[in-house]
Chains A and B, each alone.
Chain A
């Protein structure tokens, strides 16, 4: 049973899932997840490995389409429209809902082309506009001063933390409303993690962010709302969702209580 706190109806929701379930072949990854995600807030999804957190995230931009044996049922509403409706333009959807992955995945292009490639694909080719957007997004992730003199050199030569910030810039350059993040710091050192965390906090003012994390302290530091996923009989379920402060200080569900105090998970 999901425990909802009355407070999380205060903010307008950007995304709402309704009885969302996902299975690969015969195996059910998660089941019946109904989660409201408030607009321009940071929602953290926590829980042990295998509880379906990452799979849940890939439903929100329909990256699940790329896996053929993956079946999704239920609904995901973005601004009132079900994104699994066959009439939805997936390309446009993914422009509105950006994603940052666990491993930094810059393309094997120059820094500049990493940002131009998505812009070009979405029809933004005016040179001065493109250059403005590139500077803007690299500045937003604090990378502009570090790379402005070597925009044409390979993105693969950047450090791990810089690569992850470039990937964030690549997402931001398309001006998404929602940004999905799948453990974006787990491959990084503590200093780079700190930099990325600060960025996420900043972005949370203007973007709806859903971040999957293993790190409870991180969820506590940066998020406004926290949701706990738990694997029961190998199927992920949503256990509790609450404003972050309440989630950690007054968890309602016994599983959440055990998890936040470190007794379980």
Chain B
């Protein structure tokens, strides 16, 4: 047995300490939310409207608004994001100025604070397009916000597909479209899943960009042109503006986290199933 040096032990301990600390902080946050929040959750909480500015009652209209906003956000950003990534990776040269310009812009956009997206959405969708404070405005604003994330991780996923697949398929006289559909896209699935999870994570957690666009009316939306309050805004409002709102803020946060975990698991499952469907026979 070689005796471990003192410095090595310290190094090993340090390297273990970092992930353990991060995991512990994460578990602490989740644990705290669930500890305080689980008690609030029952059928009534999920299926009734808020009463007394949310101090009592449930979150049904907020869940519906959130679902609408996310649906619009992902429905718009997913096809656009995957399309752009495919264009950037499969149909444009890395070295050309155009592709480089788009990539730079996306990286810059990904770092723009969400409040700026909120103001942009307010100016463009709410005012110029005349959509008003509505779920549609909010969803579209979020779509602009998650698009850079989505494109970049989809792009990474596509680039991770070995070039030998493309060359092999081309050498067999298989057209680029068929190669893309049957080989490249299924192989790039992990990238799409990662992009979707990142995107929806950012969208579901967003407050600043939504306050100026979808508004914070807490009644049941009658259409997507109606104003609607998202879960994250509800939590913000209950925690910051409403006295005695903390209990229901915790309940709402528990729902939000559970929803996020469920969406992530479902996405991974759908991704894996689709890949298997294409790859096995």
Chain A residues within 8 Å of B, Cβ to Cβ: 61, 63, 65-66, 68-69, 90-95, 98-99, 101, 103, 105, 107-110, 112-113, 116-118, 121-122, 152, 154, 167, 170-171, 174
Contact = CB atoms under 8 A, between A and B. Distances in A.
Contacts of A118: 172-174
Given A63-B170, A117-B172, A118-B173, 16 more contacts: A66-B167, A94-B170, A95-B172, A99-B171, A101-B167, A109-B280, A110-B279, A117-B174, A117-B183, A118-B172, A121-B172, A121-B173, A152-B280, A154-B279, A167-B168, A171-B171
5 contacts: A63-B171, A95-B172, A103-B164, A107-B165, A121-B174
A209 B168 CA distance: 18
A181 to B, nearest CB: 11
B90 to A, nearest CB: 10
A123 to B, nearest CB: 11
Nearest to B280: A110
Given A66-B166, A105-B162, A113-B281, A174 B171 contact: no
B175 interface: yes
A-B pairs, top 8 by smallest CB distance, nearest first, are A94-B173, A105-B164, A99-B171, A113-B281, A118-B172, A95-B173, A105-B168, A91-B173
A90 B172 CA distance: 10
A174 B175 CA distance: 15
B78 interface: no
Contacts, number: 77
Interface of B: 93, 95, 162, 164-175, 178, 182-183, 187, 279-281
Of B169, B171, B279, B280, most A-chain CB atoms within 10 Å = B171
Given A66-B167, A105-B167, A108-B187, A170 B172 contact: yes
A95 B167 CA distance: 14
Given A121-B174, A174-B173, A101 B164 contact: yes
Given A103-B164, A107-B168, A113-B281, A69 B95 contact: yes
Contacts of B280: 109-110, 113, 152, 154
Contacts of A117: 172, 174, 182-183
A68 B166 CA distance: 14
B38 to A, nearest CB: 42
Nearest to B278: A109
A152 B281 contact: yes
A261 B233 CA distance: 80
